[in-house]
Amino acid sequence: MINTQLHNQLIEQEIQRKVYEAQKRVQEAKMQVLKERLRQALYIVGFLFIVLILLIILYRIFPNKIINCLEKSNNINTAIKSFKEIKQENLNHKKSSTKPFNGVEYVKENNYVYKLVYKNGVLIQEIKLAPTIIESIEQKHEKIPQFSTIKKDKDAQ
């Protein structure tokens, strides 16, 4: 009887020792992971520090050139904007100098397709069709061109 109690106590002590060793190994693994993360963070901070020092050195060597480059980029941006404005004005001028529109236009507004008939640029007739082109073709027997563009309402977008 005494022998089995002693044996059980030895087994429990052995289990506790193994649990302690396992906890110690887990703690060491956690420390290794933390050390690796700290090392990576230090590499990143060091790299950023070196880049900052290089930028400061470049600024001290070429202070005027950097400022001039920034001013030139601003000048380029303003030149591009003015070019776009001139181009837009030319397009508006071309549109205004063209002859008035005669014909049929299909427009989608408020979830419906409308057939708009123009004569000399003036809207003569507006016909409300179905919600989709396919339904409009089926119900009203409209011959909507296959490649016609449907102008969508700005509110719907």
User: Is residue 46, in this structure, part of any structural domain at all?
Assistant: no
138 and 107 co-located in one domain? yes
Host domain of residue 120: 103-152
Taking residues 17-32, report their average pLDDT. Answer: 95
CA 22 to chain centre: 48
pLDDT digits (tens, 9 = 90+) for 57-67: 888 887 766 56
User: Is residue 148, in this structure, part of any structural domain at all?
Assistant: yes
pLDDT digits (tens, 9 = 90+) for 101-155: 677 777 777 777 777 888 776 777 787 777 776 776 666 566 666 544 555 555 4
123 and 144 co-located in one domain? yes
At 156, the pLDDT band (50, 70, 90 cuts) reads very low
User: Is residue 87, in this structure, part of any structural domain at all?
Assistant: yes
Q: For position 143, what pLDDT does the model report?
A: 66
User: Is residue 146, in this structure, part of any structural domain at all?
Assistant: yes
86 and 118 co-located in one domain? no
Number of domains in the chain: 2
Cβ neighbors of 30 (< 8 A, separation 6 or more) are none
66 and 89 co-located in one domain? yes
Structural domain ending residue among the three candidates 50, 80, 96? 96
Q: Average pLDDT, whole number, for the chain?
A: 77
Pull the structure tokens for residue 82.
């003015």
